[in-house]
Structure 1
């Protein structure tokens, strides 16, 4: 606003003298009688309009009066603090009863905070504080409509200039935000500053949310879910407690003492085992020696000394060693080795390592040689013979020999597959030679690889029945062990191969082989001694086997074997190249030999149909030599097993495999 006839550049600023009447006072007086069109806020009585203390005419008048007073007041000194929204000055007092503000009392407008800064709002009115969390937010378009009324032209297009808005309407849309003071900050301000010289710098953390969580509605789904979870947990705990109490009561009734056993791999719960007080399993022997760890090859080789060390350590940790009688390890004699190997082979193993060479490890094919190889191989075969001799002589009832290197691949005149001397075959022949009352030996090999060496040595011997469960086909090592390989000469029918043509088989498949093939033939053979070529590379977790036999499966197979030959059973370690898997399975086998009872498999764990079909073919191959396989009782058992694996939509006639 300028005076008349004044130049824009040379004109002086407008000044107002307090206590005098000027142009602004006249403008305020003129506008006091005009009623604005916009809606004004109602007062407590509900009346609005001209003359009302809260009406728009008086609001505009007071605002203009405040502007006039501000113009006469000198500007405040500059401050270093950040600029904030200026507060409104108090309106001048008016005589009581004249319609002024407060009827003689001063009125101060509360501080207004604008939520959105828009170009059509003056800077003094748009400087807003940050809104408190939890306050309802408006979108950009809502804010735009809140501060301006957009009009459309005749063509339907929006005009660029906003519509004028009254002061009362604008003031009614402001949101007053009370600053929230944290109680923790107040407490910190009251505390005196620390005078300790060693003050840690403040840690800048993300501030906690100010939003208060609503109380949980008991009828909501979340509350119902939590309630159900608590009920299920309580029910499960009560059920477990009842089952444990019932199991303990049953054990006490049967006079059974509970023993701790090694846990199963993969975090699964170990099966409960117990030893009956009335059953005497006799003396169980354990044979091992650190000498067999001297045969050490490349660090990456699967057949390494740790196999022996970890297995023995596991048996000690589980308390199995203290329940056994230790059998001294020894080297095999030439007489024992010559029962299975040629003299040329013995000389070859003794002289294969070149001691004049600087190489500490020398390899030939799939085996390696060191200066200790011949001694370790003799100790492995001799320890298997010592354990077998202890059981055959009657000083021990059962025995486990932790030996290496393995032996079931060693043929009569060839070392192969990590093997130099055939440990279990030598032990079987030595027992037949040294003990006249031992006439028949069952040698069962559950190593995942076929024991081509054992088959080669015993193929024509009817005194030793060799049974092997192994993977076969697809180039799997060593490539031998077809079901048609049944023996020759006097040994015809005494070589039983159970070749698995697929990997991934587990406990149910192996036990089905015992039910349908091994148990009937073994009982008909009626052995005087049982020897297990205990390779654990079919165990779940082995890097080479590809099978899924668990500790429970090995324990159950051991229980089947110790039920033969009056319980006289010897186990000798063969393969197994996963350290944890091998040690755990070996401990489960020794536990079963000690008399620990293992629960049967769940009825939901059934063999594959392909497994039963393979077993049916094996029955056809051996039923002429072993008539028990052709009996009506066994045929019903086979049909029942085949029916268990029947899949809906893929029915077959069970007689196709029986004829």
Structure 2
């Protein structure tokens, strides 16, 4: 009897791709619309459950972030920046993390997809793999924005998973160190963080040395794999397989969160690695084959057509579906010219500065650190916290005589290609 197929849940809201960080800013959420369009064009929606995530409530975001920071994100608008100059400085918002229209709603959508939907469905065994390409904003800190990230959906998603799973493994293949997630769990053995990233030469965020291993109860539960410019598929995949195999053997996680930042691809606007889409996707494939409940998110990625290609290929990988290289007609087909192919090799021309000796030394240091950890650290028995319930509105504040403005009414209209949790996807024609 063939093994059962993984049940895959996929979360998408078109509003998340319509926000605009501003002129010349490298972060383009529009890449999410491009990715979703490709997913539909390849017919992948027919092989998984697709949901429109609900927006995370402020109180949910404050389960990690400080209440005053979340309140500020809720209140601030582009027109109010002059009067809140001091607060903007305090919360590290400005050039890298600008204030733009619908900023808070953007945070609610991408965080909601990770915490309120993906983690929740994994907790209750409703799927084996949950995908939220809008998530993965790994730099945000408890009290401040950082690196284009405002709310750390990954930390919030992991906190949700910890209600049901004694140990959670976080893996990060973005070119930038997953500093916000590592920092949040630096003192605990309930979460092991593993980050493969560029390190040195004042590269943002400047953290993630192999010697940074966690502290107190979390000592040796932070794993950093610092890399140099130009690492290629064979070097990266070989190192990834060895490290992740050992981590899983020692740690035995109940769930895995995989951040798939695509700025580690060759030719990325802000990157300096030499990974192909196939190489990047092989890491996803390796983690999928572990057979552990898996939450997959996006992350960085600043050459948007390659981001869309990459995450579409990886959606196929998670569905055990090989995709034809010729890109089918879709709303964004013009972005993929001149060759209109999925697995592009554009930009594979950087010298690999990671020598065999350097990679061997890093591998040996990481494996030595792992030998210090307690094998599958135990967790004291505790009552599972109830799923957080937040009403849609405060009935005391609701005035039935007050008409909704047009913007609010528009937001309540369900798009043809997006479904809320609970809808029967099989009753909908996604191509309508």
TM-score, length of structure 1 as denominator length:
0.48
Superposed CA deviations along residues 487-537 of structure 1, whole A, max 9, x for unmatched, are 11211111101011x211122122222233221122221111111111110
Q: Which residue of 1 aligns with 2:221?
A: 494
**Are positions 1:330 and 2:330 aligned together?**
no
| Structural RMSD (CA) | 2.5
Q: Which residue of 2 aligns with 1:592?
A: 317
Superposed CA deviations along residues 129-181 of structure 1, whole A, max 9, x for unmatched, are xxxxxxxxxxxxxxxxxxxxxxxxxxxxxxxxxxxxxxxxxxxxxxxxxxxxx
Q: Which residue of 2 aligns with 1:400?
A: 131
Q: Which residue of 2 aligns with 1:79?
A: none
Q: How does 1:267-306 map to 2 (within 5 A)?
A: 278-306=2-30
**Are positions 1:382 and 2:382 aligned together?**
no
SS of the aligned residue for 1:444 comes to strand
**Are positions 1:578 and 2:303 aligned together?**
yes
Q: How does 1:192-207 map to 2 (within 5 A)?
A: none
Change (3 A) 1:394 1:627: closer
Change (3 A) 1:380 1:412: same
TM-score, length of structure 2 as denominator length:
0.73
Change (3 A) 1:283 1:518: closer
Indicate if the aligned counterparts of 1:536 and 1:585 stay in contact, CA closer than 8 A: yes
CA-CA distance at 1:400 after TM superposition:
1.1
**Are positions 1:563 and 2:289 aligned together?**
yes
CA-CA distance at 1:335 after TM superposition:
4.1
SS of the aligned residue for 1:540 comes to coil
Larger RCO (alpha carbons 8 Å, 6+ apart): 2
Of 615, 624, 640 in structure 1, the residue corresponding to residue 372 of structure 2 is 624
Indicate if the aligned counterparts of 1:407 and 1:423 stay in contact, CA closer than 8 A: yes
Aligned pair count reads 337
Q: Which residue of 1 aligns with 2:152?
A: 422
- Inter-partner Cα distance in structure 2 for 1:284 and 1:334: 28
- Inter-partner Cα distance in structure 2 for 1:512 and 1:625: 23
Change (3 A) 1:333 1:504: same
CA-CA distance at 1:613 after TM superposition:
2.7
- Inter-partner Cα distance in structure 1 for 2:212 and 2:97: 26
Indicate if the aligned counterparts of 2:195 and 2:225 stay in contact, CA closer than 8 A: yes
Q: Which residue of 2 aligns with 1:68?
A: none
Q: Which residue of 1 aligns with 2:244?
A: 518
**Are positions 1:410 and 2:140 aligned together?**
yes
- Inter-partner Cα distance in structure 2 for 1:358 and 1:411: 24
Indicate if the aligned counterparts of 1:483 and 1:621 stay in contact, CA closer than 8 A: no
- Inter-partner Cα distance in structure 2 for 1:516 and 1:357: 48
- Inter-partner Cα distance in structure 1 for 2:96 and 2:270: 15
Of 391, 407, 418 in structure 1, the residue corresponding to residue 122 of structure 2 is 391
Of 173, 185, 198 in structure 2, the residue corresponding to residue 446 of structure 1 is 173
Q: Which runs of 5+ in 2 are unaligned?
A: 324-351, 377-432
CA-CA distance at 1:300 after TM superposition:
2.1
CA-CA distance at 1:608 after TM superposition:
4.3
CA-CA distance at 1:370 after TM superposition:
1.6
SS of the aligned residue for 1:387 comes to helix
- Inter-partner Cα distance in structure 1 for 2:213 and 2:127: 33
Indicate if the aligned counterparts of 1:512 and 1:612 stay in contact, CA closer than 8 A: no
Q: Which residue of 1 aligns with 2:361?
A: 613
CA-CA distance at 1:597 after TM superposition:
7.0
Indicate if the aligned counterparts of 1:529 and 1:568 stay in contact, CA closer than 8 A: yes
Indicate if the aligned counterparts of 1:555 and 1:591 stay in contact, CA closer than 8 A: no
Indicate if the aligned counterparts of 1:281 and 1:397 stay in contact, CA closer than 8 A: no
CA-CA distance at 1:382 after TM superposition:
0.7
Q: How does 1:470-485 map to 2 (within 5 A)?
A: 470-485=197-212
Q: Which runs of 5+ in 1 are unaligned?
A: 1-276, 599-605, 629-659
- Inter-partner Cα distance in structure 1 for 2:59 and 2:249: 31
Q: Which residue of 2 aligns with 1:551?
A: 277
SS of the aligned residue for 2:55 comes to coil
